[in-house]
Amino acid sequence: MPLQAERIDAVTSQMGRARILILGDIMLDEYLFGAVHRISPEAPVPVVEITSSKLLLGGAANVAANIKALGDEPILLGTVGEDEASVKLARLLKEKGISSHFVVHDLSRQTTIKTRIIAHSQQVVRADREDRHPLDSAAENQVLKRFMSVVDEINAVIISDYGKGVVSPNVLTQVINQCLERGIFIGVDPKETNFHNYKRVSVITPNHHEAGFAYGLRIQSEKDLIEVGHGLINRLEAESILITRGPDGMSLFRKGDEPTHIPTFARRVFDVTGAGDTVIATFTAAACGGADYAEAAIMANAAAGITVREVGTATVTVEDLKQDLELNLRNGNLARTTLRA
């Protein structure tokens, strides 16, 4: 059944009371904005005249920012280098009211920076500065030690895996096992390389390309989607899998249930950067607020539809989310959520 007005009120009123640990790859997102008036005489590429710039939290740090905006307390756990970018990142975290107490400084790595050059509301190019090698044993031990110091005080864990080396098979195994022992909700925003290590989690949120790759079947039809969704549930022994499908919305698969298909609520799309971060953050926050998984998926879909209207990573407040859900309810969009065999 689609999300009803009374359930929107009930869940949103309970959100903002959880402590949620975010484990993963912490990044700094740099945006350079400008205009193109000519082609370079040196190569057939546009010359972008930069007029402004901004720095934003990226990766796991953006998930933490989304959790903070929704009113819950984020505990950010990951690694950064000992460099200028880590100082800028710490400043951004402080401005957002997010503690960097659990962030590990790893001298063997640089802080990941993704630089995007935007001209006329279009991304021209992205340049990445990063290390992707696995954490050494000392850094990995620090991550696990900090996790164990707080695991008894949290309501949920989000694993934000961008494949930069923080989320190793050993870290995954230990974190998941500790959460399962305590009945702690586990949400995963996955990377293909680790996909089959995300065992017995509460929810995993791949896009349709990642899901098809992990299962070994390209999703080209609804029949393929159903096979991949149910197949991954069985392989991973997961409680649920939420496959994001771009303009086709999302599909939620749960053990023993028919899939729930949710149409996209986005009315305009400027930038999908960070939309996956918003999805996993909102799903987890909603679940902590008492939503069932179908309700959490609908709320995550709505939140993503809000953030893609902005250029760069963006966040959503509970009030933003509630207003958008109520608007979609009035417009009949929530009634298009379907259960199908």
Catalytic residues: 277
**Strands 250-254 and 112-119, bridge-based pairing:** unpaired
Report d(CA 205, CA 216) in Å as an integer: 17
Concatenated DSSP letters for 149-217? HHGGG-SEEEEE--SSSSS-HHHHHHHHHHHHHHT-EEEEE--GGGGGG-TT-SEE--BHHHHHHHHT-
The H or E element that residue 14 is part of is helix 5-14
Q: What radius of gyration, in Å, describes the C-alpha atoms of the chain?
A: 20
Burial tier of 206 (Cβ tally within 10 Å: 0-12, 13-18, 19+):
buried
Bridge partner residues of 27 (DSSP)? 58, 112
Report d(CA 259, CA 293) in Å as an integer: 11
Burial tier of 107 (Cβ tally within 10 Å: 0-12, 13-18, 19+):
exposed
Say which residue the tokens 């586990």 belong to. 186
Report d(CA 311, CA 302) in Å as an integer: 17
Contacts of 210 (CB under 8 A, 6+ apart): 190, 191, 192, 195
Kindly report the length of the chain. Answer: 341
Q: Which two tokens stand for residue 24?
A: 């993963």
Which amino acid, residue 308? V
Contacts of 51 (CB under 8 A, 6+ apart): 33, 34, 35
